[in-house]
Structure 1
Amino acid sequence: MDKKNTRIVNALLKNARISISDLAKEACLSAPATAERLRKLEEQGVITGYKAIVDLRTMGHAVSAVIRVKPFAGKEPKVIKYIQASESILKAYNVTGEYAFVLEVSLASTTVLDTMLEEMSQFCITDTSVILSDVTGDDFRISS
């Protein structure tokens, strides 16, 4: 991955709807050369898709939280089934350590969060942190 491809990817991470012309300016290339590099990055699987970033608060999701999950013995399949069925779970990671899963959730209220945790208490132990703010900023970057 050379510096020009890195510039292309970083520009797309900031704005996936950027025009080829503006993307070319970011990469210091011509528009046709940029379009060709973009096509190759897609073919190579470096770029796997484009998505909208939504402010969930505007959709009534006032509470975001991280939930660490420690399944009871033999209950991991139940945890996975619950995760896959829940529309409130944005991301779920199977991780190393005492807690087998880390979930990122978005919900309408702390009451809904409490209900979710009560449901999950049937098959796992949870440790929950309500997210107060995102301090990483809006842009994601890769280094070259």
Structure 2
Amino acid sequence: MKKPIKMSYDETDLRIIEEIRDNARISYKNLSEAVNLSVPAVFERMKKMEERGVIQGYKTAVDYCRIGYPIHVFILLHDDRCRDGVPYMLSQMESIFQFWIVSGEYDYLLEVYLSTSQELDDLLNELYKIGRTHTMLILNKLKEDSL
């Protein structure tokens, strides 16, 4: 098996990542000014980071509460009853925003946005068919993404 090549990234690359993480819509001109490089140099660095999978995409931050989903929960799920096809089943559940396979006592970590507590109850009843859950209701976000 071939070992992945570890690429080194300098302070400028990390600064570019920080700038685009904070504002994915920043222009190359403004980005070049922020990192003190020419526009073509910034473009080439970003292109290389995209090709190497460091930059995997650009996203828009959404405040789900403002569009009718005020309930934000993380649910840990242990697969006690249903051994096959759980990732597929979870991917079909509309209220599950993202999920990960995790190590430890639980098998999956689900991020969920919901409109009502009844929707949460309904989702948990579906998840109980798969196994045991531990639900954490998000009360307030204290920190955004950072390096």
Question: Is 1:141 aligned to residue 134 of structure 2?
Answer: no
Match of 2:129 among 104, 117, 122: 122
For 2:97, the aligned partner's letter is L
For 1:141, the aligned partner's letter is S
Higher mean C-alpha displacement, 80-89 vs 6-15:
80-89
Superposition RMSD on alpha carbons, in Å?
A: 1.3
Match of 1:95 in 2: 102
Matched-pair identity in %: 35
1:35-67: per-residue Cα shift (whole Å, max 9, x none)? 111111112211111111111112211100010
Question: Is 1:81 aligned to residue 88 of structure 2?
Answer: yes
Which structure 1 segments of 5+ residues have no match? none
Distance in 1 of aligned mates of 2:43 and 2:79: 47
Which structure 2 segments of 5+ residues have no match? 1-8
Match of 1:44 among 52, 59, 62: 52
Distance in 2 of aligned mates of 1:117 and 1:17: 37
Runs in 1 of length 4+ with deviation above 3 angstroms? none
Aligned pairs, number: 139
TM-score with structure 1 setting the length: 0.90
1:67-114: per-residue Cα shift (whole Å, max 9, x none)? 0101114x1325323211012111211111111111110111111001
Distance in 1 of aligned mates of 2:20 and 2:84: 37
Distance in 1 of aligned mates of 2:146 and 2:36: 18
Distance in 2 of aligned mates of 1:123 and 1:20: 47
Distance in 2 of aligned mates of 1:26 and 1:5: 12
Contact 1:78 1:123 in 2 (8 A): no
Q: Secondary structure at the match of 1:67?
A: strand
